[in-house]
Structure 1
Amino acid sequence: MALDPVLQQIIDQLPVPSGQIDFATLRKETAPMAPLFHGPEGPIDVGAVENSELPGLGGTVPIRIFRPASAPLGTLHLLHGGGWSIGGLDFIEPLARRLTRDLSMVVVTSAYRLAPENPFPAGFEDSLTAARWVLDHAGELGGAGHPVVIGGESAGGNLAAAVALELNHNASKNFDAQLLFFPAVDLRSDADNYPSRLANADPSLRTETFPQIMGGYCGGHDRADPRISPLAAECLDNLPPAVVVVLTVDPLHDEAVAYADRLRQAGVPVELIEFDHLTHGFPNLSALVPAAAEATAAVVDRLKALLARAVMNP
């Protein structure tokens, strides 16, 4: 299946890392692009936006809180992608605004220390710090009795899944659901043998960069640690219900599907959604690509259905 033509035109103009990456340079090159993702009509209107910081293990953890114009129906903690090494609050803001509006939820985005300068567990620790804060303040954020969701895309999906696992094993409360956009859930060395890693040619994600990107995040840590590779966890029982979004052309396709299958086998309700005409990172382009906006809206509908079925009426 060919990619959506509008999306293809945009991807052709974006800087896609290849070969050896200089992350400091890449961050400088990509930073001016973040406002463009709001699209020609500018940022989606929401009720209010607040910036704050949380005390973390390695310094402060920046967060941004998006409040809907009407009374909120829940809270979503959203983690940005970027291979654990680029990206930030500005890059995830267009999606955060869209989800705030379409879900009528308070959306909290959180930044984290970036690799390779700050390898694991830095990014995980910062994400866990923010997640605990969201859970502790969920009642005043999205309203008592409403669902609390954790989500993310790509590396952010990895962190969201890892945080949910950690809370499941070492906390008294966890999120009500997960929203995982094309998550990287298996960073073990033999993961390169997934057929989608070998065969898929997503123009926005080059597999040749995986060793450097994943190596920079993992550092010298054991890649079979479930906080790095959630798919390596022995037990996935009692995890929050999940919406898992995968893309036919994405190199991460197979591991994300495998994670959804493992969740189902553990008795966790799962909505697996696959798109065959979109690329890695498509939700961020929703203001520019009608097909991406339609797909993101479909994901929102599936999340609402999952929450209604598995969370609000278990």
Structure 2
Amino acid sequence: MSPRLDAVLRDTITAAQANALVPLYKLPAAVRRRLAGAPIQIDGNTLDPDVQLLLRIENLLPRTTKTDAATARARFRNLCKLIPGTPAEVQRVTDLTVRGAAGQLGARLYVPAGAGRGLLVFFHGGGWVVGDLDTHDALCRAIAVDAGLRVLSVDYRLAPEAPAPTGAEDAIAAFTWAVDHAEDLGVDPALVAVGGDSAGGNLAAVVAQQTVRRDLPQPALQVLLYPSLDLVARRPSRDLFSDGFILTEEDIIWYRDHYTPDSTLRPDPIVSPLRAEDLTGLPPTYLSTAGFDPLRDEGLEYAEALTAAGNPLTHAHHPSLPHGHANLRTVPGKVQEAHAHLADHLRAALH
């Protein structure tokens, strides 16, 4: 990439400008390819060029060191403004409270036109430290509309103020609340699923395991989007994609240390669901992994473990995409194909 092109991009993009990147994706594909730079190939996979363009621009934005949680949360909120696109038209959006492990939690219910009787209880990503209902609003709207089901997004408590296993216990309590109040939410209690992206995928996997172990109402489906599954072991994908692909090695360590300051808790399945000794009896799983994700290998390992334990599994592997791609829905091509695959599966499984 030439310095002149860098300057053009830097002058037209600011982290605070909502939807600032959307006009770029209206340029001809050949122009976007040139702006993205030479193809990136690692471990036999080629990064999607439209995602590469986004990463190129993200790398031009001012960097903020993760010195504290408040700074990290502010930067994450700004980044989430870059490319949400036009929010999907949802018939009704309601802010409400749900039961947490120690009191009420904020939540947001999305009801699309023509919604069926299914519900996805969703936990946002962000390393258990950043993220909130607003950072994942566009994603939840898109899932609700495209899958034709209600989505309940839960604002579980964040670390470091609330370290592990607080987030996990909040997630378990919120999911069981949703089943208990299914009729009030307009859904069938037998069609309540649990899901999340990244750290939220970790919480969803914990909910699926712990509801079985604690003899609680169980999800109809668990939806794990490039989840964090093991806070102990380090796998080759952590080295292959340690920097430059949205989630960095520095991020992983920083989030882990904030969520589990007590390192003795990290091998416990309440925070590392991949380390559970018994995976039998879990609900059907939709597991999404990405080729350019430092968490790729633990996702692949969990897919194998779920299958070996006899659990129904749909594994959607996206070799050209990075961690976090579900939040990049307006990026054309492979990102939108991944979203469509997820929505189609949810529609089929929960209708």
Question: What's the TM-score once normalised by structure 2's chain length?
Answer: 0.80
8 A contact 1:245–1:274 mirrored in 2: yes
Q: Give the alignment partner of residue 210 of structure 2, picking from 161, 166, 181.
A: 166
The verdict on how the C-alpha distance between 1:263 and 1:18 changes in structure 2, with shifts beyond 3 A counting, is farther
The CA deviation string for residues 31-90 of structure 1, in whole angstroms up to 9 with x for no partner, is 244344431xx2100110000123434443110000011142301011100011101111
Q: Specify the alignment match of 1:205 in structure 2.
A: 247
2:85 is aligned with 1:34: no
1:230 paired to 2:273: yes
> Residue 170 of structure 1: CA displacement?
0.6
1:53-202 matched pairs, under 5 angstroms: 53-144=97-188, 147-188=191-232, 191-192=233-234, 194-201=235-242
- The answer as to whether partners of 2:47 and 2:292 remain within 8 angstroms in 1 is no
For residues 250-278 of structure 1, what are the alpha-carbon distances to aligned partners after superposition, in whole Å with 9 as ceiling and x for unaligned? 11111111111111111100011111111
Q: Given the alignment, which residue of 216, 240, 252 partners 2:258?
A: 216
Deviation of 1:297 (Å): 0.3
Following superposition, the deviation at residue 16 of structure 1 comes to: 9.5
- How much does 1:18 deviate? 8.3
Change (3 A) 1:165 1:13: same
Q: Kindly provide the CA deviation profile for residues 90-112 of structure 1, in whole angstroms up to 9, marking residues without a partner as x.
A: 11111111111111111000011
Unaligned segments of structure 1, at least 5 residues: none
AA at the equivalent of 1:68: P
Aligned equivalent of 1:280: 323
Whether the 8 Å CA contact 1:37–1:94 is kept in 2: the answer is no
2:135 counterpart SS class: helix
**For the Cα contact (< 8 Å) 2:111–2:151, is it kept in 1?**
yes
The TM-score, its normalising length taken from structure 1, stands at 0.89
Change (3 A) 1:240 1:18: farther
Secondary structure of 1:9's counterpart equals: helix
Partner of 1:267: 310
CA offsets per residue over residues 132-166 of structure 1, 9 Å max, x none? 11111223435337622111010000000001111
Distance in structure 2 (CA, Å) of the matches to 1:261 and 1:21: 37
> What CA distance in whole angstroms lies between the structure 2 residues aligned with 1:145 and 1:61?
20
Could you tell me how far apart the structure 1 residues matched to 2:203 and 2:113 are?
Answer: 29
Task: Identify the residue that residue 44 of structure 1 maps to in structure 2.
Answer: 88
Q: 1:18 to 1:38 in 2, by over 3 A?
A: closer
Instruction: Provide the aligned length of Structure 1 versus Structure 2.
Output: 303
Alpha-carbon distance change, 30 to 211 in structure 1, aligned in 2, over 3 angstroms = closer
Read off the aligned partner of 2:202 and give its amino acid letter: N
Aligned-partner Cα distance in 2 for 1:120–1:211: 15
Contact 1:19 1:208 in 2 (8 A): no
Percent identity, aligned pairs only?
36
Alpha carbons 1:45, 1:97 under 8 Å: kept: yes
Letter in 2 for 1:112: Y
Partner amino acid for 1:157? Answer: G
CA contact (8 A) 1:147 1:176 kept: yes
Equivalent position amino acid for 2:254 in 1:
Q
Moved more, 160-169 or 145-154: 145-154
Cα distance change of structure 1 residues 55 and 301 upon mapping to structure 2, 3 Å threshold: closer
**1 CA distance for matches of 2:202 and 2:179?**
19
Question: CA RMSD for the aligned pairs?
Answer: 2.2
CA distance 1:55–1:242, change in 2 (3 Å):
closer
